[in-house]
Amino acid sequence: MAAKPSIPKGTRDFSPVEMAKRNYIFNTIRDVYHLYGFQQIETPSMEMLSTLMGKYGEEGDKLLFKIQNSGDYFKGITDEELLSRDAIRLSSKFCEKGLRYDLTVPFARYVVMHRDEISFPFKRYQIQPVWRADRPQKGRYREFYQCDADIVGTDSLFNEVELLQIVDEVFARFGIRVCLKVNNRKILSGIAEIIGESDKIGDITVAIDKLDKIGLENVNKELSNKGISAEAITKLQPIIQLNGSSSEKLETLKEILLASEIGMKGIEESEFIIASLQSLNLMNEIELDLTLARGLNYYTGAIFEVKALDVQIGSITGGGRYDNLTGVFGLSGVSGVGISFGADRIFDVLNQLDLYPKDAVNGTQVLFVNFGDKEATYCLNILLKVRAAGIRAELFPDTSKVKKQMSYAHNKNIPFVAIVGENEMKENKVMLKNMESGEQNLICIEELITILASC
């Protein structure tokens, strides 16, 4: 049995260098989450299908990876049912478990199951993979990590402010210049209310979003094609052509949405969030963007999205407020707000802009060459001291040709090689070679430690 192995399509192996980069991303996000008092939880990879089904729409249900029941999975299925070959309906008989599709539904389930031990408001973060049976394509995987932070059990807008501070801080640490786009579901509801087209708000935001590309005339044509009345389109004109700073946009919206209670509430919320953030001197620009309409059925207040300024790529982080996260599991009245960093896209952006810090790799700092058992055994004692000083060090395990050992150090990007032969042992010293400059120095162990601890 020597078939050439492969991995499932849409999944990936991560090499040491890729892992180091990914860990740099996760650790940066994690550190900032900790600075703001978020605590980590983890949930099982498998959830009951009863927990997952019906939460992501009909399309989402189809994209769930379902796990075949153990043992006799035919039990309880009649011959007629089997022969019907109704794949969708029989899934729930063959399978009672599925892989999680996102971190939000498992989090909602967690909050409901653990509500008696949780001290609200609950600030949790979660960094785990999720699985979707999507058609794989460039940048879209069947297994990928999400990095979510949510606060539940509070409707204070200070949460929105702090989450956007987190986003600002994380991208500042990465060195990625971004624009933080904010919107508010209540403003969108207000617009729909004012123009009398409450059920068309999705079409409207999509059309407005195309203004730059297709021009005002075509936007209006598209709105009309979508069945929006001429009167409504007329009323929409000042909104489509809204421009200026965020404050200017909000001033204009105040006039337009004056008659909509919910619209005015959305404006008030956005004013608070944007003004608070402006007083905190964010590193990145913040912008009110009415075309932002992500998860429209889901979010009820603020909506966030982050765009990288120096790379052409979709949204790299998003989030917003939802008012009834846990209602579907029988616990109502739990308002929350959250963000989710797109680790895979951030990975690509950091690569494209070559922004990974050199020391993110946590690689070996020095390789000890192996000249034979006697020398190697001698080196083990030196290694003891070197590692006790926190220096990452290796002994080449085999007595291979020096050239091979050097090329190992080179391939693994190890910056220093320590050479200990007969002479060095006699003098109780080490020949330290700098792999970049080629320079060699005969030094004692204490010097070796000083040099390596400082790089």
Query: Site residues for a copy of itself, window 2-41 (CB under 8 A)?
Result: 2-8, 11-16, 19-20, 22-23, 34-37, 39-41
> Total number of residues binding a copy of itself (CB under 8 A)?
113
Output the smallest distance, CB 247 to a copy of itself, in A: 17
Residue 81, token pair as written in the block: 């049912």
Nearer to a copy of itself, 315 or 399 (CB): 399
Among 21, 24, 28, 91, binds a copy of itself (CB under 8 A): 91
x/- map, 125-144, a copy of itself, by CB under 8 A: ----x-x-x--------xx-
- Beta-bridged to residue 383, according to DSSP, are none
Please list every residue from 162 through 221 that binds a copy of itself, using CB under 8 A: 162
- Report if residue 249 touches a copy of itself, rule: CB under 8 A: no
User: Rounded to whole angstroms, how far apart are CA atoms 155 and 159?
Assistant: 8
Please list every residue from 270 through 309 that binds a copy of itself, using CB under 8 A: 276, 279-280
Calculated CA dihedral for residues 119, 122, 123, 127, nearest 10 degrees: 100
Among 21, 24, 25, 97, binds a copy of itself (CB under 8 A): 97
Among 83, 116, 213, 401, binds a copy of itself (CB under 8 A): 83
Burial label for 354, CB within 10 Å (0-12, 13-18, 19+), is: exposed
CA angle (132 as vertex; 127, 138 as ends), nearest 5: 90
Instruction: Tell me how crowded residue 241 is: count the other CB atoms within 10 A of its CB.
Output: 12
User: Rounded to whole angstroms, how far apart are CA atoms 320 and 219?
Assistant: 27
Q: Taking contact as CB under 8 A, which single stretch among the options 171-179, 186-194, 299-307, 372-380 is the one that binds a copy of itself?
A: 372-380
* Cα-trace Rg, the chain: 29
Among 158, 214, 234, 446, binds a copy of itself (CB under 8 A): 158
Among 224, 252, 324, 364, binds a copy of itself (CB under 8 A): 364
| Cis geometry, peptide bond prior to residue 397 (ω within 30 degrees of 0) | no
- Report if residue 374 touches a copy of itself, rule: CB under 8 A: no
Output the smallest distance, CB 315 to a copy of itself, in A: 25
Cβ contacts of 140 within 8 Å, gap of 6 or more:
10, 134
Instruction: Tell me how crowded residue 244 is: count the other CB atoms within 10 A of its CB.
Output: 11
Q: Taking contact as CB under 8 A, which single stretch among the options 191-199, 216-224, 405-413, 436-444 is the one that binds a copy of itself?
A: 405-413
User: Rounded to whole angstroms, how far apart are CA atoms 222 and 200?
Assistant: 12
- Report if residue 58 touches a copy of itself, rule: CB under 8 A: no
